[in-house]
């Protein structure tokens, strides 16, 4: 029965062995060591019993100098039960360990020389150093693998076999606790922390020196600024006491006039800039003679002669040099070239202050922005107006076409209604059509469209004729539908037309029928052109015509001349009805052809028809 880990440890301790933590890797070696110790104990020795007992006693109570030293990379110790379940039957377990085993051979003596012990100690120290270095290298390899996202793969550190003694192979593995300790040991501060520590150390060491240098630089900067200001304003602070000796005769050759002209030019440019920026009124654009003399006195430009000589010298220099950016003016602000007429000076270009330039820039930006907004607004308004106008024109065109279509449909429907009911009025008043199509509130707005549609119908529509009719004693303009129709007219499309803007209001107006051109018709193909018609045939034709036109009011006269039949109706409307009934009519296999005949022509053939019309 195999021993448990605890029993195995106790047995080895009884033999005086140093027992490391028992793991899967060293369990078999420890069991083999125990068997070796047991076999040595059972084997006979040549020494005396007392010596054997002394050795046993020594082995039992004293710790030997040499034993099994082992490092394992197992993370946890495993009991014998766990080990028995983990081991697969029929498969040999390969245990890789690195150890320095110093066997207790019975042949070797119990004591070694001092030099041998020292060598063993040095080798042990060197071996431990190599093992620690290998652990550090393995920890670095694992850190690099983790940074490269290789944590999913199992990492196995490289195995380095170092021969310390003949026939002895060793390998190193490490536990997680050792790896964590090594990471803590090799962790270095970041570059930022190192830089901060360096700066803090430098500041603590040289704090006083740095403060003194900064103070000296600040004081030197103040002194330099003061010297620059003092140099520029020296003439203003310390006025000149020595008089200027320039005269009108040597003004152009006198060097003392140069600073005077420069100072005066700057003063005139500043004045012009203030006027342009509206800090001064426009009438102060030109500087007068008293103002210039006062300015020169304030600046310390005093001549040995009087102020009048200074003025003449100044004007002479400006005109003779010449100074192009300074204008010499008279009292009327006109440029002159005469010294005696000069009373004012002015600059050609102004110097603007920072406030002036800022305000001018803001005004310019605002002006451009205003123009931009105005232009954008105008463009948008123009686009909106064009779109609105286009939409209005489209609506107007649709309304105009709708008027034409509705008027045509009204007249055409009235024509068909009149064919079926002769009592229906054959015409339609134009004003009443307008009232039907356009509501009262829209008549003013749609007046132009109505007039356009009215003109189109009256002048360019060949199917409709405009004429005048009496309605209740008053004369109105009406429209009639006059397009010829076939003998089989289409059924009535609309029996009654209601007002488009009031569906509840009944209208008495119907579509007008076709109106004949005259009251007379001429008919062909009733008789055979090659034969002579007798009375019976003529009576049959007359009866057939009367039966065919029984619904027409009315036929006033029927005449036969040669092979043609002539009809006279009571009105043009009746003639139109007869035309549509008789034209293209099939009579005994022959197609009857009808056409209108002028009334005068009819009376030439049949004078007796005049009496029928009178009756």
Q: How far apart are CA 326 and CA 346, in angstroms?
A: 6
- Averaged pLDDT for residues 352-364: 88
For 365-376, write each residue's pLDDT tens digit.
999 999 999 999
CB-CB contact of 403 with 437 (8 Å)? yes
pLDDT, position 568? 92
Residue 316's Cβ-count burial label (10 Å; 0-12, 13-18, 19+) is buried
For 407-431, write each residue's pLDDT tens digit.
988 888 887 888 777 777 777 888 8
pLDDT, position 508? 32
pLDDT, position 92? 39
Q: Which of 477, 458, 481 is nearest to 468 (CA)?
A: 477
Mean pLDDT (the chain, rounded): 75
pLDDT, position 517? 77
* Ordered alpha helix ranges (H), 424-549: 430-437, 447-460, 535-548
Q: How confident is the model at residue 383 (pLDDT cuts 50, 70, 90)?
A: very high
pLDDT, position 340? 87
> Is the pLDDT reported for residue 439 higher than 70?
yes
Give phi and psi for 502, each to the nearest 5.
Answer: -150, 95
Q: How far apart are CA 361 and CA 365, in angstroms?
A: 6
Lowest-pLDDT choice from 48-52, 281-285, 301-305: 48-52
Lowest-pLDDT choice from 170-174, 257-261, 434-438, 451-455: 170-174
Residue with the larger pLDDT of the pair 501 and 189: 189
Lowest-pLDDT choice from 324-328, 451-455, 495-499: 495-499
Residue with the larger pLDDT of the pair 237 and 455: 455
Which of 33-42, 469-478, 583-592 has the largest mean confidence? 583-592
pLDDT, position 338? 86
pLDDT, position 379? 94
DSSP H or E segment with residue 394? helix 354-420
pLDDT, position 350? 87
Cα 212 versus chain centre, distance: 58
How many angstroms separate the Cα of 119 from the Cα of each of 65, 112, 126? 14, 11, 11
Domain 520-609, architecture per CATH: 2-Layer Sandwich (3.30)
Structure tokens at 79: 């009991």
Give phi and psi for 107, each to the nearest 5.
Answer: -75, -25
pLDDT, position 487? 39
CB-CB contact of 426 with 512 (8 Å)? yes
Residue with the larger pLDDT of the pair 94 and 551: 551
Give phi and psi for 545, each to the nearest 5.
Answer: -65, -45
Whole-number percent of the chain with pLDDT over 90: 16
> Is the pLDDT reported for residue 492 higher than 50?
no
> Is the pLDDT reported for residue 357 higher than 90?
no
pLDDT, position 535? 87
For 293-345, write each residue's pLDDT tens digit.
899 888 888 887 788 888 988 899 998 888 888 999 998 889 888 888 898 99
Query: Any long-range contacts for 210-218 (C-beta under 8 Å, 24+ apart)?
Result: none
Q: How confident is the model at residue 500 (pLDDT cuts 50, 70, 90)?
A: very low
Q: How far apart are CA 386 and CA 392, in angstroms?
A: 10
How many angstroms separate the Cα of 540 from the Cα of each of 246, 510, 536, 588? 146, 37, 6, 11
> Is the pLDDT reported for residue 74 higher than 70?
no
Q: Which of 372, 282, 377, 375 is nearest to 333 (CA)?
A: 282
pLDDT, position 158? 41
Residue the block writes with tokens 């290298």: 137
Domain spans of the chain, in order of start? 5-39, 360-481, 520-609
Q: How confident is the model at residue 394 (pLDDT cuts 50, 70, 90)?
A: very high
pLDDT, position 220? 93
Q: How confident is the model at residue 217 (pLDDT cuts 50, 70, 90)?
A: very high
Query: Any long-range contacts for 501-508 (C-beta under 8 Å, 24+ apart)?
Result: 501/436, 501/437, 501/438, 501/439, 507/436
The CA-to-CA distance between both ends of the chain, in Å, stands at: 158
Whole-number percent of the chain with pLDDT over 70: 73
pLDDT, position 155? 40
Cα 555 versus chain centre, distance: 84
- Averaged pLDDT for residues 270-297: 89
Q: Which of 83, 174, 92 is nearest to 133 (CA)?
A: 174
How many angstroms separate the Cα of 592 from the Cα of each of 131, 487, 564, 579, 589? 134, 11, 11, 11, 9
- Averaged pLDDT for residues 536-544: 90
Q: How confident is the model at residue 43 (pLDDT cuts 50, 70, 90)?
A: low
For 554-592, write each residue's pLDDT tens digit.
899 999 988 899 999 988 888 888 888 899 898 888 899
Q: How confident is the model at residue 507 (pLDDT cuts 50, 70, 90)?
A: very low
> Is the pLDDT reported for residue 104 higher than 80?
no
Q: How far apart are CA 316 and CA 296, in angstroms?
A: 16
pLDDT, position 180? 58
Give phi and psi for 602, each to the nearest 5.
Answer: -65, -40
> Is the pLDDT reported for residue 119 higher than 90?
no
- Averaged pLDDT for residues 593-613: 85
Q: Which of 173, 121, 111, 100 is nearest to 142 (CA)?
A: 173
Q: How far apart are CA 380 and CA 551, in angstroms?
A: 68
Domain 360-481, architecture per CATH: Orthogonal Bundle (1.10)
Q: How confident is the model at residue 185 (pLDDT cuts 50, 70, 90)?
A: low
Q: How confident is the model at residue 112 (pLDDT cuts 50, 70, 90)?
A: very low
Q: How confident is the model at residue 221 (pLDDT cuts 50, 70, 90)?
A: very high
- Averaged pLDDT for residues 95-107: 38
């Amino acid at each position: 029965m195999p021993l448990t880990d605890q029993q195995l440890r106790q047995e080895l301790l009884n033999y005086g062995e140093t027992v490391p933590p028992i793991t899967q890797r060293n369990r078999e070696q420890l069991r083999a060591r125990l068997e070796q110790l047991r076999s040595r104990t059972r084997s006979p020795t040549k020494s005396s019993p007392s010596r054997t007992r002394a050795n046993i006693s020594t082995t039992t109570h004293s710790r030997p100098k040499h034993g099994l030293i082992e490092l394992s990379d197992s993370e946890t110790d495993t009991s014998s039960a766990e080990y028995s379940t983990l081991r697969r039957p029929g498969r040999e377990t390969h245990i890789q360990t690195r150890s320095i085993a110093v066997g207790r051979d019975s042949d070797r003596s119990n004591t070694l020389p001092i030099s041998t012990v020292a060598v063993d100690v040095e080798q042990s120290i060197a071996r431990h150093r190599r093992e620690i270095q290998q652990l550090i290298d393995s920890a670095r390899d694992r850190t690099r693998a983790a940074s490269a996202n290789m944590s999913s793969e199992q990492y196995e550190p490289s195995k380095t076999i170092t021969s310390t003694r003949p026939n002895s192979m060793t390998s190193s593995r490490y536990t997680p606790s050792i790896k964590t300790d090594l990471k803590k040991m090799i962790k270095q501060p970041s570059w930022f922390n190192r830089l901060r520590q360096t700066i803090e150390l430098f500041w603590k060491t040289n704090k006083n020196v740095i403060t003194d240098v900064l103070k000296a630089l600040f004081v030197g900067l103040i002194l330099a600024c003061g010297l620059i200001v003092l140099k520029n304003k020296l003439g203003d602070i310390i006025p000149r006491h020595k008089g200027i000796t320039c005269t009108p005769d040597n003004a152009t050759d006198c060097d003392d006039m140069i600073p005077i002209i420069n100072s005066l030019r700057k003063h005139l440019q500043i004045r012009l800039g203030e006027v342009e920026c509206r800090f001064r009124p426009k009438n102060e654009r030109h500087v007068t003679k008293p103002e210039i003399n006062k300015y020169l006195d304030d600046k310390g430009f005093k001549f040995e002669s009087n102020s009048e000589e200074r003025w003449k010298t100044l004007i002479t220099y400006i005109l003779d040099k010449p100074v192009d950016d300074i204008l010499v003016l008279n009292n009327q602000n006109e440029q002159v070239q005469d010294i005696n007429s000069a009373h004012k000076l002015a600059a050609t270009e102004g110097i603007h202050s920072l406030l002036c330039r800022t305000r001018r820039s803001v005004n310019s930006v605002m002006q451009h922005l205003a123009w931009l907004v105005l232009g954008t607004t105008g463009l948008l308004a123009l686009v909106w107006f064009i779109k609105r106008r286009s939409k209005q024109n489209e609506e107007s065109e649709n309304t105009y076409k709708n008027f034409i279509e509705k008027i045509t449909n009204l007249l055409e429907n009235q024509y068909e209604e009149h064919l079926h009911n002769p009592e229906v009025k054959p015409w339609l008043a134009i004003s009443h059509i307008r009232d039907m199509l356009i509501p009262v509130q829209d008549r003013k707005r749609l007046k132009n469209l109505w007039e356009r549609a009215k003109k189109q119908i009256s002048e360019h529509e060949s199917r409709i004729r405009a004429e005048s009719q009496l309605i209740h004693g008053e004369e109105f303009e009406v429209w009639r539908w006059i397009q010829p129709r076939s003998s089989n007219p289409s059924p009535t499309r609309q029996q009654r037309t209601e007002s488009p803007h009031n569906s509840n209001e009944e209208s008495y107006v119907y579509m007008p029928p076709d109106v004949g051109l005259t009251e007379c018709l001429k008919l062909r193909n009733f008789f055979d052109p090659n034969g002579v018609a007798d009375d019976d045939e003529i009576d049959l034709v007359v009866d057939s015509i009367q039966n065919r036109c029984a619904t027409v009011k009315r036929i006033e006269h029927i005449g036969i001349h040669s092979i043609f039949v002539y009809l006279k109706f009571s009105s043009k409307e009746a003639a139109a009805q007869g035309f549509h009934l008789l034209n293209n009519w099939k009579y005994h296999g022959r197609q009857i052809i009808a056409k209108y005949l002028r009334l005068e022509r009819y009376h030439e053939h049949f004078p007796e028809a005049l009496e029928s019309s009178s009756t």
